[in-house]
Structure 1
């Protein structure tokens, strides 16, 4: 029962942070493009980092709330996902020198998140 309460609180905090991120991102895109180059434009266009920081805060709070077993398995999943992401991005960097199109740094976090999700699903389904 305790895990369900913690899980619901985590999802509320995380999706709240994602919602704030989406709102700030939308506002930054709409208003940032109309501003002249300079510090104000830079601040407006970088402001979605606030939502990212809130999401990171939700993840850290969740990790502090869960028991040792969940914490350990989550951190193992994250470590595996980080290794997969590092390997894939490094490999793609070599492919870029072979003529593949350059990718934005914005592709790294979705790849990391997807790797973390897949790692958790595979380890949860096959390695209980």
Structure 2
């Protein structure tokens, strides 16, 4: 089995019905601040929190009432060993999508063995 070093939990994604409403709530309640360079309003915002980020993503209409609808959580894992984590999850029997290049770095989506959504990513040097 492929062995990897520890991955740091760097982001939690919340699927929400109204991104603007959720932004207002988390900014007012906890003092989180939007990271404009990594956000894609109005469908996705990233709020800075000490040691982690909180992403607010618009749940799709077809997601309502499913595990991926409002109230669901995605776990985002930041790693410098993206390919190794991809291989390890594949070997463990997780559902794993292909690695993609994004504006913030490289990423892939996966589902753990219970169906929870995982986002694994490596930030590009300018986004670290």
Q: TM-score range by the shorter chain?
A: under 0.3
Structure with the largest fraction of strand: 2
Query: What is the TM-score with the length of structure 1 in the denominator?
Result: 0.25
